[in-house]
Amino acid sequence: MGAYARLAALFAALTALFVVFGWAIGSLMYNDWVGGVLWFLVLAGAMNLFAYFASDKIVLWSYRAKIVTEAEAPELHRIVRQVSQMANLPMPRVALVPTDTPNAFATGRSPKRSVVAVTQGILRLLSEDELRGVLAHEISHVGNRDVLVMSVAATIAGAISFMARMFWWNSLFGGSRNREGNGLAALLAVVGMVLAPVAAAFLQLAISRGREYKADHTGAKTIGDPLSLASALEKLEAANRRRPLRFGSPASQGLFIVNPFSGGGLVRIFSSHPPIQERVARLRALARGVDQY
């Protein structure tokens, strides 16, 4: 499925979800399911437009990323330009995230509007070859048209949780006119609050895991150095477990090259990233001439 087809599917899923919430709130609490559905359809349309045009800005803002010029970060710009030329893609803008947690991500609506962001920590942790591998991975996301879909997915995952919380508070303090429906509305609100994070996690799983394997493969082939990317992934995974990111939203974890947030057990099972061991094994096999992708 192409990037724009996946994007259309995301927008359709968001619209359907909002319609369900609108029906539930309208019919159970206000005896007006038509009004509830129409109001939430308008809200879904606004959210779709907002996600399409502003998701990259939201991501950069939420991680305090600052666009840096070539004068401010000459070595970083040099590597990004080198990899972009090797990938035959336009030079993206470059951003720096002020945190010691080593990581990187890409965002933007199209290759011409893309941004590659790295943290201060990754510049201190990785060698130049390893950093080149990471940037090749991120620029591959740009070339594969993943960044728009992943940015919108992060926005929609946050919207799912927002709708669940809105339904919950509305059921408690909304001044319902349908007293008989209050109990059922409250029950649905509780179910929504519990299931919303799971739905958001499955949304990220559906979008991100296959994209990460593809970006690993494309990035490694672009620079002809799978082992440097494999080494970088191992260092980043260990460092992010020791020093997880303390700001931003877990809903956008799929944008990063490795999961920047802490968690174990079910959190790791529902991670938007495939296991690092599997990613590294595939890259090492690729270096031996065995393509497992």
Q: Which helix (H) or strand (E) holds 200?
A: helix 179-223
**Residue 194, both tokens:** 């519990």
**Gap between the Cα atoms of 286 and 63, Å rounded:** 33
**Gap between the Cα atoms of 63 and 118, Å rounded:** 11
φ/ψ bin of 116: left (φ > 0), alpha (ψ from -120 to 50), beta (otherwise): beta
Q: How many residues does the chain have?
A: 293
Query: For the range 118-121, what are the long-range contacts, defined as Cβ-Cβ under 8 Å and sequence gap of 24 or more?
Result: 118/76, 118/94, 120/96, 121/239, 121/243
Query: DSSP per residue over 114-147, as a string?
Result: -EEEEEHHHHHHS-HHHHHHHHHHHHHHHHTTHH
Q: Catalytic: which of 138, 180, 212, 278?
A: 138
φ/ψ bin of 263: left (φ > 0), alpha (ψ from -120 to 50), beta (otherwise): left
Q: Give the other-Cβ count within 10 Å of 146's Cβ.
A: 25
Active site residue 138: yes
Query: DSSP per residue over 23-54, as a string?
Result: HHHHHHHHS-HHHHHHHHHHHHHHHHHHHHHH
Q: For residue 285, how far is the Cα from the chain centroid?
A: 27
Single out the residue of 215, 231, 242, 222 nearest to residue 280, CA to CA: 231
**Gap between the Cα atoms of 275 and 237, Å rounded:** 10
Catalytic residues: 138
